[in-house]
Every structure is written in structure tokens, then in C-alpha cells.
Structure 1
Amino acid sequence: MTTATGGSPQSYDAIVIGAGFAGLYQLHLLRDRLGLKTRVLETADGVGGTWYWNRYPGARCDSESHSYRYFFSKELHESWDYSERYPGQEEIRAYLNHVADKLALRPDIQLSTKVTAAAWDEAAGRWTVTTEAGERFACQWLITAVGCLSSANVPNIPGLEDFRGEWHHTGRWPHEGVDFAGKRVGQVGTGSTGIQAVPVIAETAGSLTVFQRTANYSVPARNGPLNEQRKKEWRDNFEEVRKLVQSTPNAHPFRISTDRALDQDEATRLERYQKAWDIGGLRFRAVFHDLLLSKEANDTAAEFLKGKIREIVKDPETARILSDIDHPYAAKRPPIDTNYFDTFNLDHVSVVDVRADPIRRIVPEGIELESGAVHELDVIVFATGFDAMTGPLLSIDFQGAGGRRLRDDWAAGPKTWVGVAIPGYPNLFTVTGPGSPSVLANMIVPIEQHVEWIADCIETMRREGVERIEATPAAAEAWMAHVGDAANATLLPQAGHSWYLGANVPGKPRVFMPYAGGMVRFRQICDAVAARGYEGFAMGAPADPAAPPPPVLAEMTGPDAPPLPGYPADARTSLVEAPGV
């Protein structure tokens, strides 16, 4: 048992916050490879992380199932088969429970334990972690595996507390489900989550009104069951798939073409777009190398996709609203769907353009628009996403060296060194934190890379007798400047209302948070940092605020940077590897 506040905390070598993909693998490496006394603290009453909470209708992965799994163990790989091309939430959660059992992780995971604060004790060289129940833990190393998309963003719309019906956020869906049968349902939000939810809600709802602020592209997923032959292929080709996902910029199991859209004649372009549309999924993004590097190239893809919306949706006004898209294709996370646009051909489904007529407030009977129109509803579904990347970290009161607080240090935007360490917070590591490729990639691959890098770092510290490691301020400044440069070399910042920039959360600093330089380049940089004695870190002592930026960054991203095999030469000089999702 841990002790209540005021007593001596229970001591561990390492504490991991979160029991999703990252937390489970981090526990496995720290406990089973390094032999550390490790404890995982998890808010939920089960493992699964994001996939524990996201149980909304239609919740499904947008990475293909043979790539959305761990690759650190061939034996683990061969012990599990997904049933579909794109696995659903229940199946992914079942997979993570399978992993927890297979690796005997459960004895070291404490469920129903919400971490509220963590403070660095300079004299002891340890972290004290406090939970909502008042329990305290002490550890030398603290690893956050809290996920990028785990802090639900419920919009602050006046009158919500007066609504007579029921409302739910997709990120905190009732485990018992929601009965929509015959009810008047309103859904707010049309990002990836909303696009997945609409067709499923429409199956039973009496009526469904979709309140759309930002029209969105979507490509058919072409999801379906996997036959036994295909499952066997993925099992037998484990090593080839592993090498593939670790060598592509977005960590997906397909290569982005080296061809450029504008080098093709129109007929060839349209033929290739149509073929990609027919194949479905995120592979559409891979048709041409320059879709996120050239607005003119992107326009060709955007117009093709808008044309598809107008072709599918029968009512001209509905088609106009749904295809009135104001950002480049894939500048926001590009959704994939099953019958999303077709659903608007149903008589009981409609769309409201709340950019033209914004939501004024929620009233007892439903949603009132600025025009005064009231849509009477029984259920409101908020598919409004998350306070992404920084939200899960800032929900915990982190106090670093000298009592500094993370929420103050990040008031103008996050700062990390290579996405895994924060200056002023010794021995604290973040898995897929701000400044990591994270959400621009198939998440499992950056998770594995981060977790392995952190474990290697801790192993090096122990071997060399180093008790403390801390990122330098100059390293974090230089890294976040590079993160901005990498984003600005693409079209990604042109979606000004993207959650990549924090634009979906009122008052949040507008800073591009994920690293757009690609997973291959990121791995090269992290490997170089470690190989050069953890350049950009202070080892064994507090970081020197006057320390200069680490040379490794300029050398790994400048004109003489190592080449990226399989990509055009300008993939190096533009800082990006034709970024994916």
C-alpha cells in the first residue's frame, strides 16, 4: 500500500504515468530489461490509454492493422491477429489487454489512480508523485506516457448546464453506450472523430443534425475483414513490415511516391488520384511527394476530393456546405471514413453551416444559432477533439527545479529537447510530447522509438553512475525553432484552425507542436544526440542556462546532414521528408 499525504511515500526507481501503448512498453523495458522497480499509475480502471476512453460510435484506427501494433517482439506479433484492415476500438483494447497478460505487466500497474501533481526534490534527486486520493510515490525517473489525445476538449458554450436532454463528449463516452433510437441528435464537430461517428449514429437516430464549423476532406477507408491468407502474410513478413514502417516519414506501411503532382499531365494525375481513392485510406496522401510542399500541387488533390464530395452528395446545397473547405488537403489530420458523405443523402440527416450562422448558446430544448433559429434536440454529441499534446501534461501540476511550474514555463507554448525532455525538469521524460513526430505518424512507431531511447538513456546513466539528466534551455529553444522551421517548410500551418496549432482550444498559444521533419530524420537526430554523449543535456548536474545550443542539431539538419535514402534530394534541404499524416 502507498501512504497518504504526510507519510513517507513508497519508493520506486521509476514511475510511469499512463497504461496505453507507451506506458505498457515502457514498463516492460524498465522492469524486464533494466531490472528497475517500476510502477505504472493509470487513471482508468483498465489498460488501453486512448483506446480505453474513446468508445464513441464508429471509433476506429486510421492506421492499417498490420502496422498498428508493437514491433519489438516477433513472438508478440505472431500471437495476435486483427480481424479488419482498420481495427475498431474494442479490438485494439483487446490487443493491449493481450499484451498486458502476455508480458505479465498487470502486477506493476495501479489502476483507478489519477496523478494530480509531481514535484522535483533537489536535495534527494527524486520526484514525488501525488494522486487524487492523496497517495504519494517517490522515484528517480518519471516518465509521462499520458498520450497526445487524452484531454477532452468540451467547448465552453453558454447554457450547456440548462440543456434538458443528455450530452456526451466522444473522448469520454459512457461505457454502457448511448441509445439514440428515435431521438433527435445534434453532433458538433466534423474532424476525424466526427466523421467516424456520423454514419453510425445515423443508423438508429430519429434525426441527426451535424453542426459543421469547418468542412473537411475525407477519403473512403475501404475497410473490411482480413482473410486468413492476408493474416498469414503479415505474420510471415514481420521483419519486412517492421523495416518498412521504420523507414517511412509517417511510419505507415507504404512509401510516399517520389513523383511530383505538377510534373504529370492532368489525365495522369486524375488517374492516379482515382486509383488511390479506390484503394482508400491514408495511402491517398502518398500519391505524390509534393502534396504538402506545394500549394499548387495540393490544389490538384483538393479539387479532386471536393469533386468527389459533390458527386456523392445529392442535394446541391448540402454538397456545397460539405465541400466548402478552406485549407489544403492533409494540412489538418486527413480523415478516412466509411460512408460519411453518403450519410447526408438520408432524409433524416442534415448539416448546419455554423460558420455562416454560428452557435449562440445551448438552450433547454437544444441549440440556438445567431440567427435565432433553434434546433430541438434530445442528445448533443460533442466531437470537438482534445486539448492535444500539451493538455494531458498540463493537467498535472509539475513542479521542477527551484519550484518552477510547467504551466508557467509553457504559458507561451511548449519547449522540449527532441520531444522527450524539458529544461528545468530533471529526470523527467515525455513519450511523444510536443516536438515529437507523434500525431504526424502512425503512433506506434514513434512510441517505440521514444520508449527505447528513454530506456537506453537510463541504462547509460546507471552504467556510468550518473544520477541526474536535464535538457539545457538552449537545446530546447533550438529544437522548437527547428520544429517551427520544419512545419513552415510545408503547408501544415496553413490550416489556421488546426489542433496541431492548438487552435481548437480558446486561449491556447498558437504554436505548431508536432515535428514535421519526418520519423526517419527524427530517429537520426535522436540517435546522434545519444551517440555524442547526450548532447543538449546536462549530465550529473543542473543545466547551465548559459550553455550554447548543441552542435548536433545544426549538423543533423543542415546542408551536410545525412541523406534520407529513398527520397528526393530536396527532402533534406527543405527539412522535411514529404510529411504524411
Structure 2
Amino acid sequence: MEIGDPGVAVADPAIRQKYTEERNKRLRPEGISQFLKLADSTQFKYLDDDPWVDHAAFNAKTPVLRDGDDIKFLVLGAGYGGLLFAVHLIEAGFNAADIRIVDVAGGFGGTWYWNRYPGLMCDVESYIYMPLLEETGYMPRHKYAYGPELRAHADRIAEKWGLADKALFRTVCHGSRWDDAAKRWLVRLTENRGPAEPKKEMTINAQYVFVASGTLNAPQIPRLPGFDQFKGQHFHTARWNYDITGGTDTDWTLDKLKDKRVGIIGTGATAVQAVPELAKWAKHLYVFQRTPSSVDVRGQRPTDPDEWANKIAAAKGWQRSRSENFNSWLVNSPNGEDLVNDGWCHAPSYFGLIGGPGIIAPEKIPEHIAMLHTYDLERAEKIRARTTGVVKDPETADKLKHWYPAWCKRPTFHDDYLPAFNLLNVTLVDTDGKGLEGLTADAVVANGTSYPVDVLVLSTGFALFVEDGSGSPVQRAGVKVIGRNGLDMDDKWTREGAGTLHGVVSHSFPNLFYPGPSQIGVTANFTYTLALMASHVATILAEAERRVGGQTNRVTVEPTKAGEDAWGMEILKRASWFAAIRGCTPGYITKEGESNKVADMAEQIKAGRGAPWGEGIVKFTEVIRAWEAEGELSGLQVEANV
């Protein structure tokens, strides 16, 4: 599609002006500081607790790690990312017995362990989202798998690859320091053994460390005046409290809400799934909205076993092929028939966020942004028309319409969210971008009106950035990492910006790996990128150790400074693709608008170095696989220390 093609609607200047006006309503001078730092809060200390763990059962087991242990591979994170690192190491020829996994949670699953709210499901087709389906021989029950099934699949992976007994759960990693003499990372851990036993402090030595703690793991809470005076019950969706609502994480019968007035703050991807379930049970439900989501059709349906056997999973390598077909549609370079054929594949402008074919010269940025808006117009108008068609009250329908392009806020897809607003017990409270005014003892205050609530649900997302932070992979994980010559990774990234080779390893931090998220290719299907990066790291380590012939356990792998700088320049060369994001409505993508404030050219260059691969996931995959095929480990330094 090109601007000027017959039948292509050119972006309407009036709509672009509307987008700007709506964005400006939502800009707040405090930026990300409008959210609490949980470490400074006692009221929300419960967010550190694990409501699902059985401490007694864990305490009775023989620990898989002890103070002073020396291990080969330490994986920080037991979600899909951590599991994929471990599995690909094993598939590359390494021994599962040499792997240990550490996670603060009480089980495998990552975000699917913590998030257990009613209505929870993946928003990407489960046939490509759930990793290793072909290898495990598992058929998802629905096109979009629900939370319990996603969590169970993490356990399935751990069992199949012999990792179930290699994990130390309930354990926080505080920091890691490189010991250059020993060629080991000294990693400080604290195991939480529950209220009946003291915590266990330990330091272990690891040759290789993998930071795979994910991004959706730190719930964020808005600063609201009067919250400490609120007498009702409240909880965050990431720590759903079924004692308050009734039901369980596998039975969404929320019968304790039948006589309760419920408020939910937030209308993002989580709320879109939770609101229909709350609406079924609450005496009255108030949905408090600052910025509406775009909500397209999901088309949920059970998996047809015949279609699965004869079409979807019929050929060897089907999941990778299907995933890459999906990616090709996302970046508007279709590779054959649209196999997934859902709302993602019909949102061509989403590649404004994830990159697409072509390198945009700085002087072409205005034309590029205009092109993106042209791609977006038909999709956006269709979704706004759908809202009008589904929601019966015209005023409510208008307030539920999104006024921003697809690259500004993750699109959502659901069949029951919009119809929920036709129910007599559901009220949308739209704040016209201003947000809430505060709380009283028994009410939420918005637009000068008090809305009495007995139960308050915080669907306010996750902290993807730490205030005033570097945005480094280890800062996102909450880990302090000191590399070669005492270099603090956060200091390096604050001073220089992102510095990696292929987004997985940094100079001065040997044998420390992570799956981006800076300087890599990205897609709506997170697990594809995780698998690609995990496979890439395993390929690097297998080749590095092959070269030394297994003669030492003191091998180090690290980018050269030249290799890291060259990769950073390749990222920067393509960063203009993402110029349209600067005009986005505030949200996590723009650090609540703070990214738009960066005027200093040096700071803009630093930000550009931390961008994703601007040519999109398809081209990024080609680049990575071509590098692997060369077999030279170019840009890396491998040393066999005796």
C-alpha cells in the first residue's frame, strides 16, 4: 500500500488534530511519578506477597541451591523467557543438571503465575504464543488460551526438559558482581521461607547468568489523594483476591460480589478481559476510564481437533512457520496465506511501533508519519464504528472510542467487553483524560462526583520503567549488576545509552545474557522474540565452548567494544522509523509522555540507540540467522581461561 494508491483513504487532517487534542488532555507534568514507588509504600506491601505459594511444602524439600554453590548456568526468571533459555541450552547439547532457575514466585509461569484474574487469556493466538507446542505435542483448547492453561503449559515444559526440580522459587536476586580472577558471577540471593521461618541469604557462583525476569512483573499503583482513608476492600489485578470476590483462579464464580458496588480503575488490556466477568456478578460496576482502549473483535472459539491435526499442526516445523507468517503480516510483507487471520493481522499500522521494511532518512520523517496515519485510518474508523454499533447508549459509545493510532497503545480484542456497557448494572465513568480526583472513605471521586464503592479493583498495569532509571535489562529486573573493572551496568546505560551485541550481551559484562528488550526485533507475539533470542544465545555458547574443546570451565564470552558500537550504530540508523511515537497519547510506550519531552540531541541519540530494530522482526530474524550461519561469532570475544 502506498499513499496515492487508488482506493486508499489518505489520513484526515481533522482526525490527526483530534488525536493531538486528546493527547494534550492527558499530558501530566508529573509523568511517571504519578505512580507510587512500591518500595516506599506500606499500604501496598501486599503486592510483594505471593497468595498462591505453599511455604510448608517448599520448606520440606531439599534445596536445589545452597550458599557457596558453584554452577554453570543460572537463569533468573521461571516464566516462558527463563524456560526458553533453559530449553534451548539443553537442545544445544548442554546438560539440564548444570542449570538452575531462580524466581521470586512460587512456581513456573512468570506473568501467568502472578496474573490469575477472571477472564485472563492471551491476546495473541495460542497456537503461536504458547512456546514449544510442537515439541510437547500439546493442542491448546482454544484459539486464545485462558490463564490456567498457560500456567499449566509452563509446568509441562519444565517437566519435559527435566527442569521441574532445578528451580529455587520464592527467591529474590539482589545483585551480581563479576569476579575476573575466578571468571564467575557472584550472585546474591534471598530465599523467602514464609512467615514461620527466617529468610535464607546465600551467595552462589555462576559461570553464565541469564536475566529473564520479564517486563510484566511489577504492579504499579497511581498516587490518589485520600487512598489511605479508603475503608473499602481493594486489590490489584496482578494479585487478584478471590477471598473478596468469591470464586477461584480456575472457577470465576464471583458470588461474593452480588451485593457489592465494585469500582475498577483502568481500561487497558487487563480491564478489557476482567470487566465482563465483574459485570456478571457485581451489584453495580463502575468502570473508571482515563483513556479508552481500541477494542476489536477477538473471535474466541474452541480448537477444532480435525483442523489442528490436518491443517494447523500437520507439517514438521509448523509452529515456527506459522509464527513467522504472522510476523510477516504484522510488518506488511505477507509471506503467503494469512494463517492466523485475526485482528492483529488486520492492523497494518501497528508496525509503527514494531518496525517495518525500509530505513527512514531524517528528511523523510514527515512523509513516513503521514504514511503511518494513512495505514491506520481505515482500521481506526472501523473500530470506532464497531463501538457505535455494539454499545446502545450513544453517549457511552462515544466515550469508549479511542482517539490515537494503533502504535500508541497496545490494541485489544474482545467479544464481551463492549456489550458489558449495555448492562443496567454497569456504568462507565469517563474522566475526559484527567484521571481520578481521589478517594474518600467509601467512594471514588471523579468529575466532581462521588461514586460509592465497596470493592476497588486496580487495573493500573505494570511499571515497565523505573523512575529516573537507565532502562537497562538488569534495572528492569531489579538487580544491581557490577561487571568488569567495577562497572555498574545502570551507570553504563545512563551515561552511554543501550549497549549490546544483538540485544543479548554487553561489553564489560561477560557471560551475562538477556532477551532484549532494547536493540532487538519485536513483535506482538512476545514469546517468538523470547525463543529467537534464547536460541541465539544457546547457539553462541555452544560454538564458544566447542572452540575450546571443553578443556576449561572458565570460558568467557563478551562483545568487543567495536562489535557493540557497530551494532548500536545499526540500531540508530533505523531508529527514525519510530518517530511517530513522540506524538502518542501518554502511556507506558512514551513513559507517560516523558519521552516526548527529550529535546537535547545527545539524549535523543542515546534514546535512539535503545530502540528496537527499525526494519521489523522479519528482517531482524534474517540478520540474526545470517550471522549464525557464518559461524564466525563476529563482534564477540571468546576466551578460554585456564
**TM-score, with normalisation over the residues of structure 2?**
0.72
C-alpha distance after superposition, 1:421-468 (max 9, x if no partner): 233322110024323334x33122212111111111111221223822
Matched, 1:536 2:619: no
Farther-moved stretch of structure 1 (236-245 vs 440-449):
236-245
Matched, 1:333 2:410: yes
SS at match of 1:367: strand
Partner of 2:162: 104
2:131 maps to amino acid: Y
Partner of 1:211: 288
SS at match of 1:114: strand
2:555 maps to amino acid: E
CA contact (8 A) 2:329 2:345 kept: no
Distance 1:75 1:539, change over 3 A: closer
Partner of 2:250: none
Q: Following TM superposition, by how much is the alpha carbon of 1:41 offset from its aligned partner in structure 2, in angstroms?
A: 0.7
Aligned-partner Cα distance in 2 for 1:246–1:416: 25
**Where do residues 338-417 of structure 1 align in structure 2 (5 Å cutoff)?**
338-369=415-446, 371-388=447-464, 390=471, 393-394=474-475, 395-411=478-494, 414-417=498-501
Distance 1:208 1:104, change over 3 A: same
Farther-moved stretch of structure 1 (343-352 vs 177-186):
177-186
Aligned-partner Cα distance in 1 for 2:218–2:595: 14
CA contact (8 A) 2:105 2:169 kept: yes
**Where do residues 61-460 of structure 1 align in structure 2 (5 Å cutoff)?**
61-71=122-132, 74-76=134-136, 78=137, 80-133=138-191, 134-174=201-241, 178-179=245-246, 180-233=257-310, 234-249=312-327, 257=334, 280-285=342-347, 293-323=371-401, 325-369=402-446, 371-388=447-464, 390=471, 393-394=474-475, 395-411=478-494, 414-438=498-522, 440-460=523-543
CA contact (8 A) 1:421 1:428 kept: yes
CA contact (8 A) 1:248 1:520 kept: no
C-alpha distance after superposition, 1:88-135 (max 9, x if no partner): 010111122122222221121122222121222222221111112312
Q: Following TM superposition, by how much is the alpha carbon of 1:249 offset from its aligned partner in structure 2, in angstroms?
A: 3.0
CA contact (8 A) 1:387 1:502 kept: no
Matched, 1:527 2:633: no
1:168 maps to amino acid: F
Distance 1:43 1:81, change over 3 A: same
SS at match of 1:468: strand
Aligned-partner Cα distance in 2 for 1:452–1:9: 29
SS at match of 2:129: coil
Q: Following TM superposition, by how much is the alpha carbon of 1:353 offset from its aligned partner in structure 2, in angstroms?
A: 2.2
Distance 1:288 1:459, change over 3 A: closer
C-alpha distance after superposition, 1:506-549 (max 9, x if no partner): 9999957544532221122223444363333344399xxxxxxx
CA contact (8 A) 2:291 2:433 kept: no
CA contact (8 A) 1:258 1:288 kept: no
Aligned-partner Cα distance in 2 for 1:25–1:307: 41
Q: Following TM superposition, by how much is the alpha carbon of 1:219 offset from its aligned partner in structure 2, in angstroms?
A: 0.9
Q: Following TM superposition, by how much is the alpha carbon of 1:138 offset from its aligned partner in structure 2, in angstroms?
A: 0.8
Farther-moved stretch of structure 1 (39-48 vs 489-498):
489-498
C-alpha distance after superposition, 1:480-525 (max 9, x if no partner): 5654664542545542424233338999999575445322211222
**Where do residues 472-551 of structure 1 align in structure 2 (5 Å cutoff)?**
472=560, 476=564, 479=567, 482-483=570-571, 486=574, 488-489=576-577, 491-503=580-592, 511=607, 513-530=611-628, 531=630, 533-540=632-639
Partner of 1:461: 544
- Structure 1: segments with no counterpart, 5+ residues: 260-274, 543-581
C-alpha distance after superposition, 1:17-37 (max 9, x if no partner): 111112223223334622371
Distance 1:240 1:527, change over 3 A: closer
1:246 maps to amino acid: E
SS at match of 1:148: coil
1:24 maps to amino acid: L
Aligned-partner Cα distance in 2 for 1:109–1:508: 43
- Structure 2: segments with no counterpart, 5+ residues: 1-62, 192-200, 247-256, 357-370, 466-470, 549-553, 599-603
Aligned-partner Cα distance in 1 for 2:112–2:352: 33
Q: Following TM superposition, by how much is the alpha carbon of 1:84 offset from its aligned partner in structure 2, in angstroms?
A: 0.8
C-alpha distance after superposition, 1:345-371 (max 9, x if no partner): 1122122222454322233223223x5
Q: Following TM superposition, by how much is the alpha carbon of 1:276 offset from its aligned partner in structure 2, in angstroms?
A: 13
Farther-moved stretch of structure 1 (475-484 vs 139-148):
475-484
Aligned-partner Cα distance in 1 for 2:259–2:569: 52
SS at match of 2:437: strand
Of all paired residues, the percent bearing the same amino acid is 27
More helix by share: 2
- Which of the numbers 6, 24, 28 marks the counterpart of 2:83? 24
Aligned-partner Cα distance in 2 for 1:143–1:41: 10
Distance 1:290 1:51, change over 3 A: closer
Aligned-partner Cα distance in 2 for 1:241–1:352: 42
CA contact (8 A) 2:235 2:457 kept: yes
Partner of 2:252: none
Distance 1:224 1:3, change over 3 A: closer
Aligned-partner Cα distance in 2 for 1:537–1:188: 47
Distance 1:287 1:162, change over 3 A: closer
2:213 maps to amino acid: V
Q: Following TM superposition, by how much is the alpha carbon of 1:244 offset from its aligned partner in structure 2, in angstroms?
A: 3.2
Matched, 1:53 2:114: yes
Question: RMSD between aligned alpha carbons?
Answer: 3.5
C-alpha distance after superposition, 1:220-263 (max 9, x if no partner): 111011232123233323534422323553698x986599xxxx
Aligned-partner Cα distance in 2 for 1:132–1:147: 19
